[in-house]
A = this chain, B = another copy of it.
């Protein structure tokens, strides 16, 4: 019974922690080491791998690029500079008007200035409305914060404080809306193993503004229970959220399983960065990598009904 968090004495992490932090399985971590010579964990007195924090961050960075479609063979051969360059390519993408604004938010996150964040939140919410706020500010901001963390620009504490504060604000905004009786009824949850739940809140916000009725189930529901919940709550649609940490092949597998277990008249939608890695379309499953497609799905549902 090895302890789960072998208190990082020298600041190195054991393989289980690295799996949790990066979303790369233990098997993958070991096989990369064997094949590509990276990462290069040291060993503790017991012969077990100990990963340096720098390498963990690098693994997280590689994982992000992997999710964007790059291949391991290429990425693992690159050095820090080339990796950072690739990271910037997409990050600095279109110097969009909102870009400077996001940087402004990010600065507040870095300084853990919760009061300023709160002010910005209500200001932008009033200006844009909930739906546009979530799409233009909130979602990109979460991505940026994740990137900033993997680049070591902010710590776990800043990331947690940001998430917690944003969750509170978003829930406050949602509390004032009355979502009863709309259609379609959408069951919202994540699969076991997926911990990120801010995505669910964002989807809930969009659904509410579109007049649908979300049924928020919280994260980590086993497939069998999702099926039962959909039936008992008379859901028209089951919508799952996948973060980029969720392995696309696992996601596809689980979706296929769920699709066969679910009565065919209930639709199945899958959203989040985690579905971008699914290339082949799955029969009877609507993939919703971007929020925009969510509106298409809603429209299609209404037309069908």
Contact = CB atoms under 8 A, between A and B. Distances in A.
Interface string A185-201: 00001011100000000
Given A16-B250, A20-B191, A175-B175, 11 more contacts: A3-B249, A4-B250, A7-B257, A20-B193, A20-B254, A155-B228, A157-B228, A160-B220, A164-B217, A167-B218, A172-B172
A78 to B, nearest CB: 22
5 contacts: A7-B254, A16-B253, A17-B257, A157-B221, A175-B175
5 nearest A-B pairs in the assembled complex, by CB-CB distance: A164-B218, A157-B229, A157-B225, A172-B175, A156-B225
Task: Give the interface SS of chain A, mostly helix, strand, loop or mixed.
Answer: helix
Interface in A56-95: none
Chain copies in complex: 2
A162 B175 CA distance: 17
Contacts of A23: 192
B5 A112 contact: no
Contacts of A157: 217, 221, 225-226, 228-229, 232
A55 to B, nearest CB: 14
B191 A232 contact: no
A163 interface: yes
A171 interface: yes
A218 B20 contact: no
B3 A217 contact: no
A216 B161 CA distance: 7
Contact of A223 (B7, B16, B260): B7
Contacts of A17: 253-254, 257
Contacts of A229: 157, 161
A6 interface: yes
A296 interface: no
A254 B164 CA distance: 23
A128 interface: no
